[in-house]
Amino acid sequence: MKKNPNENMLRLKPFLDKMAEKYNQIGFIENDPISIPHRFTKKQDIEIAAFFAAILAWGQRKTIISKCRQLMEMMDNTPHDFIVNHTANDIRHMNVYKHRTFNAEDLRYFLAFFKYHYQNHDSLENAFIPADFNENMKDTLTYFNSYFFSLPNSPQRTQKHIATPARKSACKRLNMFLRWMVRKDDNGVDFGLWTTIQSSQLICPIDVHVNRVANELDIICCKNADWQTAVELTNKLKVLDSEDPAKYDFALFGIGVEQNSERP
């Protein structure tokens, strides 16, 4: 009898469903970077806060949350209004801002990009939607990277903070941000603000911890957490739920937490 190639995934489904449900709960928010956008109700504030929280999400989670709160305070806790209306003088106090390798030069460019974008668009979702949008997330993220750095004199150093599949990156932070913006359920963790990109199109965020857990569970057999690995993992998770594979990010991350591996 021919072996079902999805047998292992189907065997894991009850366990992964249980773990996903365990961590996809309101109680998860407080100690995670997603708590930053949850401080806001205005759509554009949520988008901006979520983007910064995702991009700055590396290191100790307590530190990430603290640095994101500091950044929101620097924008008077009204990020959209501050960004659209700020002058050069308004951001001088931000020259001291730093989180790991993200510094004031990077921040100034992020603010310039957001100002340009929101002066022309109502939502950040437009930044991820090329004119020939074809539901391919590799093309979507490649387009976003190109658009993000399309302003004159974009700093070369800042490019390391915005990943792209064109450099074979797993794009963990961007995929995490997209999960927050796109996924919608009744659990209240992810926001589900966007409608053009669908949950079925999302790529599961993958870092060294998720990659390790996925390998331990024999879901994938890839040592490098690159773009191809992220796609392979997502395709395996689609066996469990073709419409919402990224919900299993909660499960894989949760298992990592229980193994004392802190994310991000």
pLDDT, tens digit (0-9, with 9 covering 90-100), for 15-54? 999 999 999 999 999 999 999 999 999 999 999 999 999 9
For residue 102, give the 3-state DSSP assignment. strand
Sign of CA dihedral 53, 206, 223, 261: positive
Per-residue pLDDT, 4:
74
pLDDT digits over 99-142, tens only? 999 999 999 999 999 999 999 999 999 999 998 888 899 999 99
Per-residue pLDDT, 133:
86
pLDDT digits over 44-89, tens only? 999 999 999 999 998 889 999 999 999 999 999 999 999 999 999 9
For residue 256, count CB atoms less than 10 angstroms from its CB and return exposed for 0-12, middle for 13-18, buried for 19 or more. Answer: buried
Mean of all residue pLDDT scores within the chain: 94
Per-residue pLDDT, 3:
61
Check if the beta carbon of residue 44 is closer than 8 Å to that of residue 118. Answer: yes
Q: Which residues share a beta bridge with 169?
A: 226
